[in-house]
Amino acid sequence: MDRTPHKEQQRLEEEKKVHKLLKSETVLQDHSNVFIDYAYIADGKFVRSPITGSVGEWKKRFKIKEVRRCEIFSHRNAKLGEEVR
């Protein structure tokens, strides 16, 4: 097996998990509350909220386009930054 740096990087990219977006993981409205360190899906990735405040405030301060609920028990093996589609 070829272990050149390029091939190794390509293999690691292919191993990245992409999780399935659940129907219950709905888009949160700008007036919805978010809480620091709670799990959300922001722009298609698992994240923890960096603020306590509103979705609109989070989107404005951190240039996020979309914030969704996260069913944390359904994604208990997910890591921060992994994609959700």
Do residues 58 and 67 make contact, with C-beta atoms less than 8 angstroms apart? Answer: yes
Residue 5 lies in a domain: no
What are the φ/ψ torsions at residue 9 (nearest 5 degrees)? -60, -40
Domain count of the chain? Answer: 1
- Is residue 55 assigned to a domain? yes
User: What's the pLDDT score for residue 15?
Assistant: 58
The answer to whether residue 12 is domain-embedded is no
Q: What is the pTM of this model?
A: 0.78
In tens digits, the chain (85 residues) has pLDDT values of 556 667 766 665 555 677 888 999 999 999 999 999 999 999 999 999 999 999 999 999 999 999 999 998 888 888 888 888 8
- Structural domain includes residue 1: no
In a domain, 73, yes or no: yes
Range of the structural domain that residue 62 is part of: 18-84
| 13 secondary structure, DSSP code | H
Distance CA 4, CA 23 (A): 41
